[in-house]
Amino acid sequence: MIRAFIRRFDVDMREAAEPNPDSYPTFNAFFTRALRSGVRSVIAEPEAIACPVDGTVSQYGEITNGRIIQAKDRDFSARELLGGDPTLAAKFASGLFVTLYLSPRDYHRVHMPFDGILRRMLHVPGRLFSVNPPTTRAVPRLFARNERVAMIFDTTAGSMAVVMVGALNVGSIETVWAGEITPPRGYVLRSWDYLDDNMKFAKGAELGRFNMGSTVILLFASSHTRWETMLKPDVSVRMGQQIGHAT
């Protein structure tokens, strides 16, 4: 199955820490494989925002009146995305967002875009619609309906949210500090608060992983951030490359 998957999706195993498909004990171990040292570099400039994943830009821009663009003629609210918390959503009402789609062939670990301190994590139960481009264009409020894990950080650029959105065939979402968050799937929103300063993450540090292809939505609350001009829909991006700047 692993070899068939590599052929079907043209996975570049030369980038993997373990390039031999026969060395993986399970399909999930292969799917969440680590990268070989040196194949990604994280932008070192302190004010630079690094891409958290390998993937493709779906949409990006400003959050206008609390609304986030999903696709042409489709949007959803930051409040919905963040589990319905009005106080939390208000922080991002006039901020920036970028939505990054991970295809099955991509590297599926998620990394820190900017130095910060974890303050809160939310698990928001929901559906598991596919998040591929045709479905994103067709299903209203898709990212606010799928199951997701939202991580809220304090940074020198203001509040930052990294939202890992589940999808069709996603077996689980994991974080490096709490392990598997989903499954078990449930119908009650769960929240974890981190009140001390021990949960510090440097830019480029691993945050978690998907067990199948999905989407990451990155939010910045501050108006003192901007996206790079290269950020356009359908542009391929790599983990660690500069996608924005804190001014």
Question: Rg (Cα) of the chain, in Å, rounded?
Answer: 17
Catalytic residue among 130, 172, 214, 222: 214
Q: From the DSSP assignment, how many helices (H) and strands (E) are in the chain? A: 6, 18
**3-state SS assignment for residue 122:** strand
Distance CA 65, CA 29 (A): 41
Alpha carbon dihedral 109, 151, 63, 237, in 10-degree steps, equals -10
DSSP structure class, residue 13 = G
Residue pair 166/147 in contact (Cβ under 8 Å)? The answer is: yes
Catalytic residue among 75, 85, 111, 123: 111
> Is position 58 annotated as part of the catalytic site?
no
Residue pair 98/210 in contact (Cβ under 8 Å)? The answer is: no
Token pair belonging to 242: 């500069």
**Can you list the alpha helix ranges (DSSP code H) found in 75-195?**
78-81, 86-91, 133-138, 142-145
> Is position 214 annotated as part of the catalytic site?
yes
> Which is nearest to 81 in space by CA: 119, 109, 122?
122
Residues with a known catalytic role: 54, 111, 214
